[in-house]
Amino acid sequence: MMGIEWLRPGAFFGSMIYALIGVGVFWLCFVIIDKLTPYDLWGEIVEHKNVALAIVVGAMCIAIGLIISAAVQG
């Protein structure tokens, strides 16, 4: 049973730092992929309502998140 071990300051702040690093790496990956594509992903999804592209980008975001999660967890 885990109890309240996660409330220790070291564990809590370590988790917060890993979360911030994960979000930063995720954002960086999204920006790189956005630059590699021939059009603006965000504009295409939001302004032109491209549902197919939104599904592909959503799947890509889930995949990047899983990779980052596995890397952080070790």
What is the band of 51 on the pLDDT scale with cuts at 50, 70, 90?
very high
Q: Does residue 53 belong to any structural domain of this protein?
A: yes
Q: Does residue 52 belong to any structural domain of this protein?
A: yes
> What per-residue confidence (pLDDT) applies to 29?
85
Q: Does residue 38 belong to any structural domain of this protein?
A: yes
Q: Does residue 5 belong to any structural domain of this protein?
A: no
Stretch 62-67: mean pLDDT: 88
What is the band of 71 on the pLDDT scale with cuts at 50, 70, 90?
confident
Q: Which domain holds residue 37?
A: 22-73
Q: Does residue 14 belong to any structural domain of this protein?
A: no
Q: Does residue 47 belong to any structural domain of this protein?
A: yes
The type of residue at 3 is G
In the chain, the number of structural domains is: 1
Q: Does residue 8 belong to any structural domain of this protein?
A: no
pLDDT digits (tens, 9 = 90+) for 6-44: 677 777 788 788 888 888 888 898 888 888 988 888 888
What is the band of 3 on the pLDDT scale with cuts at 50, 70, 90?
low
Task: In whole angstroms, give the CA distance from residue 31 to residue 8.
Answer: 35
Cβ-contact 18, 72 below 8 angstroms: yes
Q: Does residue 2 belong to any structural domain of this protein?
A: no
Cβ-contact 39, 47 below 8 angstroms: no
